[in-house]
Amino acid sequence: MRLGRSRRSCYPPASHLRPYESASLMTKEEDVLAALDKPRALYALQQRVDPSNKSTDALQDLLMRMRTAGKVKFDIKTGKWSAA
């Protein structure tokens, strides 16, 4: 017999989501596009969109998907993202 709290989480399981969908729940495309009022580097964009998150992996994944969809552009010379 176990005492204490149950191991169940109060959040629904994310197992039905694809890996990139669970990451994009925190950062939304609309927020990224709003933050791209001028070209910004990845870390500067992270600070505007979600400053509490220290990892830029989820944001970078979202930006790559948005680039594929034609919503954002990346300038390789300056290393900055901008709205398409």
3-class secondary-structure state, position 33: helix
Q: What is the pLDDT of residues 20-62, one digit of tens each?
A: 444 444 678 999 999 999 999 999 999 999 888 888 899 999 9
| CA count, 13 A, side-chain hemisphere, 55 | 6
Domains and CATH numbers, the chain: 19-83 (1.10.10)
Residue 3 vs residues 6, 7, 29: alpha-carbon distances, Å:
8, 11, 43
Q: What is the pLDDT of residues 53-84, one digit of tens each?
A: 888 899 999 999 999 999 999 999 999 999 98
Go through the chain and tell me how many residues it has: 84
Q: What contacts 67, CB < 8 A, 6 or more positions away?
A: 73, 74
Q: What is the pLDDT of residue 54?
A: 85
d(CA 81, CA 84): 9
Q: What is the pLDDT of residue 55?
A: 87
Q: What contacts 49, CB < 8 A, 6 or more positions away?
A: 27, 31, 32, 35, 59
